[in-house]
């Protein structure tokens, strides 16, 4: 069975990348693809970390049952076409709310990291994250529903996902895991420079 990241990356078709780039005002297509992969990997990793405690796992399971049944995946073009920065009353579509809940006060540092990794400016990186967050939660909610996962099953799924990220041969995912594992000191400039994010980001761009 494909893992969560495989399923998410499978949504990034050529037409989806084009749509995302256009929605960002004609952003560079390769930068968009790389930033999108970095965003999804980071969000999945951080969701798994948040769910590593019983309280976090219970909170996530409740949120998925309440707001994220996967139906947003039925019309991804419509979801992306809704744009970023627009108020969303529907929790399933509220990318900004999802990001605030998942990343908390690390949001700015993570946007900075992905921006340096992809070469995309921070404004577009933040907007792209807002657009993709509902897709990440929707995919997770869909897997929970389709596989009939209880809290323990959900935790096991995410723990396996996190372990795959840490043992992955993908340098970008390895570096994201290193960053998320590091103590956040509010300044990632040295961390990103030491990791060689920008160099590896250019080296491992998708097609």
Residue with the bigger pLDDT between 145 and 196: it is 145
Q: Is 41 a residue whose pLDDT tops 60?
A: yes
User: Over the stretch 96-143, which tens digit does the pLDDT of each residue have?
Assistant: 999 999 999 889 989 998 998 889 999 999 999 999 999 999 999 999
Q: Which domain holds residue 141?
A: 4-203
Alpha carbon distance 115, 197 (integer Å): 10
Structurally, the chain folds into a number of domains equal to 1
Res 176: pLDDT: 79
């Amino acid at each position: 069975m494909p893992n969560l990241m495989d399923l998410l990356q499978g949504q990034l078709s050529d037409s989806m990348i084009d749509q995302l780039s256009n929605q960002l005002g004609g952003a560079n297509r390769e930068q968009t693809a790389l930033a999108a992969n970095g965003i999804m990997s980071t969000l999945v990793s951080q969701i798994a970390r948040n769910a590593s405690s019983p309280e976090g796992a219970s909170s996530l399971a409740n949120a998925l049952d309440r707001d994220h049944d996967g139906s947003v995946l039925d019309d991804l073009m419509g979801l992306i076409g809704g744009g970023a920065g627009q108020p969303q009353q529907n929790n399933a579509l509220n990318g900004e709310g999802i990001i605030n809940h998942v990343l908390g006060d690390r949001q700015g540092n993570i946007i900075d990291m992905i921006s340096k990794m992809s070469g995309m400016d921070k404004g577009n990186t933040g907007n792209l994250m807002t657009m993709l967050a509902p897709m990440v939660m929707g995919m997770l909610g869909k897997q929970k529903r389709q596989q009939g996962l209880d809290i323990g099953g959900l935790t096991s799924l995410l723990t396996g996902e996190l372990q795959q990220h840490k043992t992955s041969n993908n340098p970008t995912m390895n570096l994201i895991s290193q960053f998320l594992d590091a103590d956040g000191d509010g300044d990632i400039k040295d961390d990103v420079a030491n990791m060689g994010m920008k160099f590896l980001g250019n080296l491992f761009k998708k097609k």
